A and B are shown apart, each in its own frame.
Chain A
């Protein structure tokens, strides 16, 4: 009986909390963002947007299944803007048919053609490079090619997260674009043979393993290094300080770059606000805030790069269009299984 009284009270409170939330999601001037990025990362920009426009922003953070959810919700979907990282996800959103094209001079002017969908279904707002983390103590060279990662001289010295992880699949797809399928498979086998341990963890863990002496080099994204070094976690600071970042290049190409970006949802109920937000995201202010908060490379020319990221050296982005990479991802994912990369 005690239980029932307590439960009822909890139920009422919870229901009240939910109702108030649901209510606010349908306020007059609002914008609903479905994001695969953790909201804390984009909060500074969202706050700025609300401050400037008075439009209230509602967010939901879903990692796996975001596109499924929007597709299933169909024409009643509250989704206005899809915010996600990696070309794999942006292309998937388009392929799932949950996006609609946007025609915006602002977006087209600011974002280089290589970093947006030719048909206007998605737009890159920031860039990240997939690079080599090298032990400060044990690695002397300051240049490397992706091809060299398969060189037996690194045997037992490389750490990397799961080959099926989003960022790795895109990197391997870029390798296929450069080397062709057969050679890329040989390369991936070579890389696999060089691993110090079975792939696991996230990108930060690779830096941690370098500090611990498990391996000499790791593969990871640029912004993690900045987040580790500048964050408030003392342990992670040590991981970040234990490594140098080398910007690797493909032979005859540049450093593999990926995008974080956004798309307009197909049945966006607040379409005008959504487009306003998308254009806001490439304004000088928000590009600056975004670059500062997330340590990504701003997509807009002339915006300062985060000092930590700038210290890695000048980025020469690879010449393979990322839309091309998106098409090769499935093949890359299958290749990961085929060479037993994660085993």
Chain B
């Protein structure tokens, strides 16, 4: 999925060498997309520059030490927990056969459909001091008060690590599984023949092989965690992102907040660059030729049970528990009655926005990737890099940075319109569906570019050379060769982007038109009133709609090994 796509984008771009120059209008379009992404970031830097350094002494003395430690602890914890959940389960289901494996392969990626903020609320309802679990324990044990026993505190750093890991591990799982499936067959079999123990196999072969997948999957999961505000704030973890909010809202210093956000952005970009640099000479490109798929070795007895349990835990934490809770609340509160005309309207708005944004993202990403394939110019390459930046900025910060450019564009169009017609035009992008769609595009463009470049990189340049030799024009090249070849990647990117748009909260909240709600803002609205459980129906619908694309993705990802399994068995 997203992670797979990113994993695959590791494979160096092998630009097709047939065309040295691309037409000016394509260059212009590529530059425009790049500028579009840079717009909010430039605005943010502008806002940061407006302020003086007044807030920094206070921040450095009182805020940053803790929030840096908390942020690092949170990210480290998630890396550890989500990383081991993802890698272990991916390895177990790929290299072994045990009871339930067939179902677990389908279930393991599903938590991807559950948003972190919803999970945080649910976990508090279940595990908090007066939550379901502790109350049941008390009734059972006859304890009177919280002071009578020990129970881990869910509203804590550890709780936050657990909550986020439970729904973010699929990023690692998916990337790792794709890696294990395509890479390890021969090595694995040699090792098995040589009598290497299972554990050692995992340590010596699986882990090193999974390194790139781990890097990609984790970086996505960690970016999600870093940019989160809802879950961490609710669970009482003071991350850097929370500091940005406090500086902005309580000290009335948007410039100060923008300064922190810029420093965070710089750090993230630096980390990405370092990570890329560290990998620049490696190639993981066996996928050009599809290698033999691992033949899972059966586990028996206790080992099989352990494997089943280890794989069932993440599914339980990230999927069964949240879904079960939402279903329970819906039944208990008879929330089905909420499903009225208004709800349907919110649902349609949500789907309409998500679909529009998805199509826009695909078109722009196809443009960027196709141009980069045809020309190695620094323009196309930097545009591809810039396209990835939107994902590194927290949603609210991105939306804040986007507002000014949107209004400027609106003003420009308004003046033009006025000079021709004499009429006054209101805001066309700001506070309309257009603005939200642009925000989604900026935020999720990198998912599509990653997925598409990966898809196209696997295509041998000789194909295009041949077409060119046969006299195909550039246009034919794009429409008859590249686009059809990109179709699978397009489809999987489309599904992922759709899910992400569906779940998106902060930018939607800030940019939406009057009287307009999406399912996510609906959930937020109930939560803001202290009645999160009343939003269970909207939350469950988000999850259920997201499930469809996720299942579709699993199906296409799992289709290949199945074929391979039968062929190797026959």
Contact = CB atoms under 8 A, between A and B. Distances in A.
B5 to A, nearest CB: 17
Contacts of A213: 129, 144-148
Contacts of A17: 345, 348-349, 352
Contacts of A68: 254, 400, 403
A8 to B, nearest CB: 8
Interface string A27-59: 000001000001111000000000000000011
A contact patch SS: helix
Contacts of B410: 76
A64 B396 contact: yes
Contact of B352 (A18, A58, A209, A340): A18
A73 B430 contact: yes
A282 interface: no
B124, B134, B400, B528 — most chain A CB neighbours (10 Å): B528
A274 B44 CA distance: 33
B129 A212 contact: yes
Given A76-B410, A88-B250, A333-B250, A13 B530 contact: no
B399 A40 contact: no
Nearest to B425: A76
Contacts of A200: 155, 234-236
Contacts of A32: 514
A304 interface: no
A164 B246 contact: yes
Contact of B251 (A78, A166, A202, A334): A334
A73 B431 contact: yes
Interface stretch (B82-90, B196-204, B354-362): B354-362
A15 B403 contact: no
Nearest to A330: B251
B66 A343 contact: yes
Contacts of A61: 521, 525, 528
Contacts of B250: 88, 164, 166, 169, 329-330, 333
A197, A224, A227, A329 — most chain B CB neighbours (10 Å): A197
B452 to A, nearest CB: 16
Interface string B500-515: 0000000001111111
Nearest to B346: A17
Contacts of B63: 337
Interface range for A: 35 or more
A62 B414 CA distance: 26
Nearest to B233: A162
A58 B510 contact: no
Interface in A169-204: 169, 197-204
B124 A39 contact: no
Nearest to B524: A63
Contacts of A164: 246, 250
A204 B124 CA distance: 13
A17 B426 CA distance: 20
B364 to A, nearest CB: 16
Contact of A60 (B147, B404, B411, B512): B512
A15 B359 contact: no
B460 interface: no
Given A213-B147, A330-B252, A202 B530 contact: yes
B513 A60 contact: yes
A340 B61 CA distance: 11
Contact of A64 (B236, B245, B414, B512): B245
A274 B434 CA distance: 27
B238 A343 contact: yes
B contact patch SS: helix
Contacts of A212: 128-130, 134, 145-146
Contacts of A204: 530
Interface in B238-266: 238, 245-246, 248-252, 254
A306 interface: no
A12 B396 CA distance: 28
B477 interface: no
B510 A65 contact: yes
A63, A227, A337 — most chain B CB neighbours (10 Å): A337
Interface string A299-343: 000000000000000000000000000000110011001101011
Interface residues of B, number: 74
Given A69-B510, A72-B404, A162 B351 contact: no
Contacts of B50: none
B153 interface: yes
Contacts of B400: 65, 68
A68 B44 CA distance: 13
B513 A22 contact: yes
B533 interface: yes
A76 B407 contact: yes
A64 B249 contact: yes
A15 B433 contact: yes
Nearest to A269: B426
A259 B144 CA distance: 38
A58 B236 CA distance: 34
Given A10-B351, A64-B396, A78 B145 contact: no
A76 B414 contact: yes
Interface string B102-146: 000000000000000000000010001110001000000000111
A92 B249 CA distance: 9
A239 interface: yes
Contact of A14 (B352, B404, B414, B521): B352
A245 B461 CA distance: 75
Contacts of B511: 69
B211 to A, nearest CB: 34
B431 A69 contact: yes
A301 to B, nearest CB: 29
B508 to A, nearest CB: 10
B353 A14 contact: yes
Contacts of A15: 352, 356, 433
Contacts of B426: 26, 76, 78
Contacts of A333: 246, 250-251
Contacts of A169: 250
Contact of A340 (B62, B155, B403): B62
A74 interface: yes
A74 B409 CA distance: 13
A201 B61 CA distance: 26
Nearest to A89: B249
B434 to A, nearest CB: 9
Nearest to A61: B525
A112 to B, nearest CB: 26
Contacts of A11: 352, 355-356, 359
A144 interface: no
A7 B355 CA distance: 6
A63 B248 CA distance: 13
A63 B515 contact: no
A111 interface: no
B276 interface: no
A48 to B, nearest CB: 18
Contact of B491 (A3, A16, A77, A208): A3
A211 B145 CA distance: 8
8 contacts: A14-B356, A69-B510, A74-B407, A201-B124, A204-B530, A208-B128, A212-B134, A333-B251
Which 6 pairs across A and B sit closest by C-beta, in order of nearness?
A: A14-B352, A213-B145, A200-B236, A212-B129, A333-B250, A337-B62
Given A22-B433, A38-B528, A213-B147, 18 more contacts: A7-B355, A14-B433, A18-B349, A60-B512, A60-B515, A61-B528, A72-B403, A72-B407, A76-B407, A78-B514, A198-B236, A201-B234, A203-B530, A209-B130, A338-B58, A338-B61, A342-B236, A342-B238
